[in-house]
Amino acid sequence: MKQEGAAEAPFLATPLQYLKGVGPRRAADFERAGLKTVEDLLYRFPIRYEDRSRLQTIASLKPGQPASISGRILACGLRSTRRPGFKIFEASIDDGSRSIRAVWLNQPFLRDILARGQHLVLYGAVELYGGGGLQLLNPQYEILDDEDAETIHTGRIVPVYEKTGAVTPKMQRRLVFDALQRLPPDLAEQLPEDLRLRLRLPTRVAALHAMHFPPADARLDALNRFATPAQQRLIFEEAFLFQMGLLARRRSAAAERKPIDIRVDDRVRESARRVLPFKLTNGQKQALKEIVDDMRSPHPMNRLLQGDVGAGKTIVALLAALVAMENGLQVAFMAPTEILAEQHFLNISRLLQASHFRVALLTGSTAASARRQQLAEIEAGTIDLVVGTHALVQGDVRFKQLGLAVIDEQHRFGVLQRATLRTKALHPDVLVMTATPIPRTLALTVYGDLDVSMIRELPAGRVPIRTVAKPESRRDEIHEFVRGQLDGGRQVYVVYPLVEESAKVDVKAATEMADTLGSDVFPQYRVGLLHGRMKADGRDRVMKAFAAGDVDILVSTTVVEVGIDVQNASVMLVEHAERFGLSQLHQLRGRVGRDRHQSYCFLVYQSPLSDEARERLKAMTETTDGFEIAERDLTLRGPGDFFGTRQAGLPTFRLVDLVRDRELLATAHREAEQWIAKSTPSGPALEKLLTSWEERFKLIQVG
Ligand code: ADP
Ligand code: MG
């Protein structure tokens, strides 16, 4: 994609250490922040922009608004206060129109930095203080040396960078300014020219200049929303290159042939019919068809099965597994927790009882001797389907003929783990199922290398769940209501939050609640307790008892979060609902409403609620649509938290913000698809694109 003849920029690859003004110490500071080269420095947005083209005069300041001023220090010093150890640094600043007081709380070191006579630019909140005068409280400051003040640090809209170790925002502004001067004017373009022109994007070099040192007519508010043409162009560039890499990688995977052709004949269809306990919904049929078509195509499948909680993804995956097994292939079925793996195992074993296929369970708590035995059988091919946790992708599991890998509740499984799985010989077909619907743009970004099948409707006859949020003080009313449900023969979940740092406390709370419910509130009903600290067989016993209806009320920490399926349960009572994330609450609620009974979700919270918690509970009572919940959750929490952890396989972007830039991401995805369809990178060119891409987005550590 590089334009022929344009200057490939060795300058961009220059280590920061070789820039004037950056020695080894500052270079080390930069490196700790992930900045190694000039390119890294230039491809980083300022945290904000400040308009210093028209600095306000001190005489014109009004309280209640942030302001930028520039002036000299008339006097300054450290002052003690009545509170022992609490010091205030005070300076009187004059700009010729007036003087104003600036105060910094508890920053005594300023004594060694600021001095009388210095020329400062200050940015901060203007407020009224005691005597009715104005002051600047904890303003950001920069000391100007008179020679470059005019060109770089004032008299224009200036970029403010995040402080990096000992490298101040001002030093960085200077460095970026110098680096931009040395940038070759014919710097190689990263975007195809016709695309760039069609989308009316500025050139790369112009965008880099304007992003750091905006032209005089740039709008401050647009800059601070990262919405100027220059900023958008750079964001788009990153998103486009990322999508190109995803698609190219997928194309190279598609070139690897699968070892066996999959047949679907009457025998296979009959076998599926025998297993199926109900009629598939149209959505399930459609998804299954897409999956099986994909399995039959000569290249490996890489598919995401999306569907709201309770949409019935499991049976679709099992039918796909059956097709693989009928064709003599093995299947790995993976879940994020042991308890879910156990549930899948029980379910699948039951459904496959009448078949000749052999199913095994392999988790972290499988005893060593049993594990050895199972590994041998998996390798020999006498076990057809293995259900397990992540342990299944660990080194010592070798399959004779792995044809399909099903990964349930995807978003705890990253891109990396999927890649590991693919290296387990055979390039098996991979089917990924998400626990929580993922907003479309995010799915494109993180799973842009996957095809997507979507189950939109729930099985017939489901009644929408009623959701109510109530403060703890009204728990008695809820209990009264719950009693009615129990009397009607339904079962109930009571869930406690699990705060990992204090698992003991949580377990205690859940244990006490179980005792109280069992002895005082519902003495005539059977209460079971489930928490993460129990051994697998203990949990298993409780879960089975609940599933069999031998336990009426299941008190639990969040181990029931995903996947658990007990149709007779009609109440989900969440304690301390304010502590749960939105997607988590949606998952929990999805445990009920799995049958024809009207189901209820009670969110019991402790007042006072934070604004965010209030938003979450509001969202829960307003909608049961998983996709909408996911959108709101993403907006509330940001993508890092949305996916639980950083290791979730999210790419590390320099400029793209997965929430802010969703529209650009979607455009980039579309454009990259078109581009890759008409240009055909292959061989070494493709290899090179992929390698630099994987390094760039830190997706390389596939082991
Ligand atoms: P999820 O998509 O959340 O993983 P499950 O696969 O656990 O949902 O299915 C939810 C429940 O709905 C299960 O009890 C399952 O047996 C049932 N189910 C799935 N498909 C159908 C269907 N077509 N008709 C009736 N019940 C179904
Ligand atoms: Mg499920």
> Closest Cα to atom 23, ligand 1: which residue?
280
Residue pair 554/491 in contact (Cβ under 8 Å)? The answer is yes
Point out the ligand nearest to the CA of residue 595: 1
Q: Is the Cβ atom of 435 under 6 angstroms away from ligand 1? A: no
Assess whether the C-beta atom of 281 lies below 6 angstroms from ligand 1. Answer: yes
Which ligand lies nearest to the CA atom of residue 306 in the structure?
1
Ligand 1 atom having least distance to the Cα of 311: 2
Pick from 565, 583, 597 the residue to mutate for probing ligand 1's pocket: most ligand atoms within 8 Å of its CB: 565
Q: How much is the pLDDT for 703? A: 22
Ligand 1 nearest atom to the CA of residue 313, by list position? 2
Residue 632 is which amino acid? R
Query: What is the DSSP-derived secondary structure letter of residue 7?
Result: B
Tell me the C-alpha to C-alpha distance, in Å, between residue 223 and each of 152, 274, 362, 432: 17, 62, 53, 39
Q: Which residue has the higher pLDDT, 418 or 120?
A: 120
The bound ligand whose nearest atom lies closest to the alpha carbon of 310 is 1
pLDDT of residue 418: 54
Which of 304, 314, 346 for a ligand 1 pocket mutation test, highest count of atoms within 8 Å of Cβ? 314
Q: How far is CA 571 from CA 479, 551, 567, 592, in A?
A: 11, 14, 11, 6
Rounded to the nearest whole angstrom, what is the distance from the C-alpha of residue 642 to the centroid of ligand 1? 25
Question: Residue 587: nearest ligand to its CA?
Answer: 1
Find the 7 Cα to ligand 2 centroid distance in Å. Answer: 53
Compute the distance from residue 626 Cα to the ligand 1 centre, in Å: 16
Q: What is the pTM of this model?
A: 0.70
The CA 22 to ligand 1 mean position distance, Å, reads 61
pLDDT in tens, 261-291: 888 899 899 988 888 888 999 999 999 999 9
Using one digit for the tens of pLDDT, what is the confidence trace for 232-258? 999 999 999 888 887 777 777 666 667
Among the ranges 153-167, 242-256, 375-389, 554-568, which has the highest mean pLDDT value? 375-389
318: which residues sit within 8 A by CB, 6+ positions away? 275, 348, 351
pLDDT at 290: 96
Tokens of 219: 């709008």
Which ligand has the nearest atom to the CA of 315?
1
CA of 223 to the centre of ligand 2 (A): 43
Q: Is the pLDDT of residue 644 over 60?
A: no
- Comparing 47-61, 351-365, 405-419, the range with the smallest average pLDDT is 405-419
The type of residue at 188 is A
pLDDT digit string (tens) for 482-497?
A: 999 999 999 999 998 7
Share above pLDDT 90 across residues of the chain, in percent, rounded to a whole number: 42
Of the ligands numbered here, which is closest to the C-alpha atom of 563?
Answer: 2
Q: What does pLDDT average to over the chain?
A: 84
For residues 398 and 494, what is the distance between their CA atoms, to the nearest angstrom?
40
The better pLDDT of the pair 178, 594 is held by 178
| Highest-confidence segment of 76-90, 143-157, 201-215, 439-453 | 201-215
Asked whether 587 lines ligand 1 (CB < 6 A), one says no
Q: Whose CA is nearest to atom 26 of ligand 1?
A: 459
Query: What region does 413 belong to: left with phi over 0, alpha with psi -120 to 50, or beta?
Result: beta
Instruction: Tell me what the mean pLDDT of segment 56-80 comes to.
Output: 91
- Residue 72 burial class via C-beta count within 10 angstroms: exposed 0-12, middle 13-18, buried 19 and up: middle
Q: What is the pLDDT, as a whole number, of residue 53? A: 82
Instruction: Identify the pLDDT of residue 701.
Output: 32
297-301, 333-337, 646-650: range with lowest mean pLDDT: 646-650
**Which ligand 1 atom minimizes the distance to the CA of 281?**
23
Residue 153 CA to ligand 1 center (angstroms) comes to 62
pLDDT confidence bin for 327, thresholds 50/70/90? very high
User: How many CB atoms are located within 10 Å of the residue 358 CB?
Assistant: 14
pLDDT for the residue numbered 226: 96
Ligand index nearest the alpha carbon of residue 455: 1
Q: Is residue 253 a contact partner of residue 302, using CB atoms and an 8 Å limit?
A: yes
Mean pLDDT of 397-406: 89
Atom of ligand 1 nearest to the CA of 307: 2
Q: Quick one: pLDDT at residue 428?
A: 82
For atom 20 of ligand 1, which residue has the closest CA? 312
Structure-token match 């728990």, residue found = 475
565 in contact with ligand 1, CB cutoff 6 A:
yes
pLDDT over threshold 70, residue 666: yes
Q: For 378-397, how does the pLDDT look when each residue is reduced to its tens digit (9 = 90+)?
A: 999 999 999 998 767 666 78
Q: Is 307 in the pocket of ligand 1 (CB under 6 A)?
A: yes
| Closest ligand 1 atom to Cα of 590 | 3
User: What would the mean pLDDT of 87-95 be, rounded to a whole number?
Assistant: 94
pLDDT of residue 6: 44
In this structure, of 258-262, 425-429, 511-515, 597-601, the range with the lowest mean pLDDT score is 425-429
Check if 311 has its Cβ closer than 6 Å to any atom of ligand 1.
Answer: yes
pLDDT confidence tier of residue 416, bands split at 50, 70 and 90: very low
Kindly state if the Cβ of 567 falls inside 6 Å of ligand 1: yes
Query: Counting ligands in written order, which one lies closest to the CA of residue 407?
Result: 2
Better-predicted residue by pLDDT, 207 or 150: 207
Which residues on neighbouring strands pair with residue 74, listed in sequence order?
Answer: none
- Ligand 1 pocket, 169 CB below 6 A? no
**Residue with CA nearest ligand 1 atom 12:** 312
DSSP 8-state code for residue 444:
H
pLDDT at 80: 86
Does any ligand 1 atom lie closer than 6 A to the CB of residue 312?
yes
Q: Give 449 or 171, the one with higher predicted confidence.
A: 171
For the Cβ of 283 lying below 6 angstroms from any atom of ligand 1, the answer is no
d(CA 195, CA 78): 58
- Index of the ligand 1 atom closest to the CA of residue 316: 6
Euclidean distance between CA atoms 424 and 386, whole angstroms: 15
Q: Are 11 and 183 in contact (CB under 8 A)?
A: yes
Confidence of residue 166 (pLDDT cuts 50, 70, 90): confident
- 3-state secondary structure at position 449: coil
Ligand 1 near 594 CB (within 6 A): yes
Pairwise CA distance, residues 700 & 415, whole Å: 11
The residue whose CA is least distant from atom 16 of ligand 1 is 312
Q: What distance in angstroms lies between residue 293's CA and the mean position of ligand 1's atoms?
A: 22
Which pLDDT does position 688 carry in this prediction?
67
Q: Is the CB of 459 under 6 A from ligand 1?
A: yes
Choose the most confident range, by mean pLDDT, from 25-39, 117-131, 254-268.
25-39
Check pocket membership of 344 for ligand 1, CB cut-off 6 A: no
**589 C-beta closer than 6 A to ligand 1:** no
Task: Write the Ramachandran bin of 549: left for phi over 0, alpha for psi from -120 to 50, otherwise beta.
Answer: left
Instruction: Give the pLDDT mean for 129-156.
Output: 80
Q: Give the residue whose CA is nearest to atom 9 of ligand 1.
A: 312
Q: Roughly how many angstroms between the first and final C-alpha of the chain, as a whole number?
A: 30
pLDDT of amino acid 35: 92
Choice from 285, 315, 570 to test ligand 1 binding pocket (greatest atom count within 8 A of CB): 315
Of ligand 1's listed atoms, the one at least distance from the Cα of 455 is: 2
Query: Position 38: which residue type?
Result: V
**Confidence bin at 563 (pLDDT 50/70/90):** low
Q: Which domains does the chain have, with CATH numbers?
A: 61-153 (2.40.50.140), 266-455 (3.40.50.300), 466-623 (3.40.50.300)
Q: What percent of the chain has pLDDT over 70?
A: 84
* 204 Cβ closer than 6 Å to some ligand 1 atom: no
Report d(CA 659, CA 440) in Å as an integer.
12
- Residue 315: CB within 6 Å of ligand 1? yes
Instruction: Look at the alpha carbons of 424, 425, 427, 430 in this order and tell me if their dihedral is positive or negative.
Output: negative
Say if residue 516's pLDDT is above 80. yes
Q: Are strands 134-144 and 48-51 parallel, antiparallel or unpaired?
A: unpaired
Instruction: Name the band, by pLDDT with cuts 50, 70 and 90, for residue 200.
Output: very high
For residue 433, which phi and psi values (nearest 5 degrees)?
-115, 135
432 and 410 Cβ atoms separated by less than 8 Å: yes
- Please compute the mean of the pLDDT values over residues 140-166 and round it to a whole number: 82
User: For ligand 1, is residue 278 a contact (CB within 6 Å)?
Assistant: yes
**pLDDT band at 559; cut points 50, 70, 90:** low
Does residue 313's CB lie within 6 angstroms of at least one atom of ligand 1?
yes
Highest average pLDDT, of 131-140, 146-155, 520-529, comes from 520-529
Please check whether residue 417 is in contact with residue 423, taking contact to mean a CB–CB distance below 8 angstroms. no
Average pLDDT estimate for 669-683: 79
Spell out the alpha helix ranges (H) of 330-398: 338-351, 368-380
Kindly state the average pLDDT of the residues 546-564: 80
Which atom of ligand 1 approaches the CA of 280 most closely?
23
Is residue 426's pLDDT more than 70? no
